[in-house]
């Protein structure tokens, strides 16, 4: 199952017990679709970057949560529908997590566009320049 990350914004007008219930409902949606929740992170109460409309109401503040989970690809559409129907949720964006890139130096020597043998390259450059210079002198004489 691929790993996903859901950025969930929940209404700010909720008291702590209601906020807990809303977050629990969102997490149950993930579990009902066969998902596996790895981590839930509370990012706090913040002002929204733009005023958002959800469920016929305008919102300017929200509680941000980041939920890391694993689920099948087929279940993502259903999870999105359930989250959008929940009145406490302002926005729910689900992104697929990228696998961390491997460091290139683990496989062999690190060559980041460097010249493997700079002395050899200098010698080749010098020969090329001297050849041009000699050709010009011969043609001018």
Taking 90 as the threshold, does the pLDDT of residue 13 lie above it? Answer: no
Give dist(CA 13, CA 59) in Å, integer. Answer: 9
Asked which of 23-37, 67-81, 90-104, 119-133 is least confident by mean pLDDT, the reply is: 119-133
Which residue ranges make up each domain of the chain? 3-96
pTM of the model as a whole: 0.67
Q: Kindly indicate the confidence band of residue 2, based on its pLDDT and cuts at 50, 70 and 90.
A: confident
Q: How many CB atoms lie within 10 A of CB 8?
A: 25
CA atoms within 13 A on the CB side of 11: 20
CA angle 78/84/90 to nearest 5° reads 150
d(CA 73, CA 62): 28
Which residue is associated with the tokens 């469920």? 55
What is the Cβ-side half-sphere exposure of residue 120, based on CA atoms within 13 angstroms? 4
By CB atoms closer than 10 A (0-12, 13-18, 19+), residue 48 is middle
Q: Which CATH class is domain 3-96?
A: alpha beta
């Amino acid at each position: 199952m691929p790993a996903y990350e859901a950025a969930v914004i929940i209404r700010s007008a909720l008291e702590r017990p209601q906020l807990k219930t809303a977050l629990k409902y969102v997490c149950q949606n993930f579990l009902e679709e066969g998902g596996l929740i790895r981590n839930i992170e509370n990012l706090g109460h913040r002002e929204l970057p733009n005023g958002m409309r959800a469920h016929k109401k305008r919102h300017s503040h929200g509680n941000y949560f980041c939920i890391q989970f694993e689920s099948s690809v087929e279940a993502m559409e259903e999870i999105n529908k359930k989250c959008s129907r929940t009145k406490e949720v302002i926005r729910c964006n689900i992104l697929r997590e990228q696998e961390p890139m491997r460091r290139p130096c683990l496989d062999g020597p690190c060559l980041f566009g460097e010249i493997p043998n700079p002395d050899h390259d200098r010698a080749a450059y010098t020969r090329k320049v001297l050849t041009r210079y000699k050709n010009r002198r011969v043609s001018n004489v």
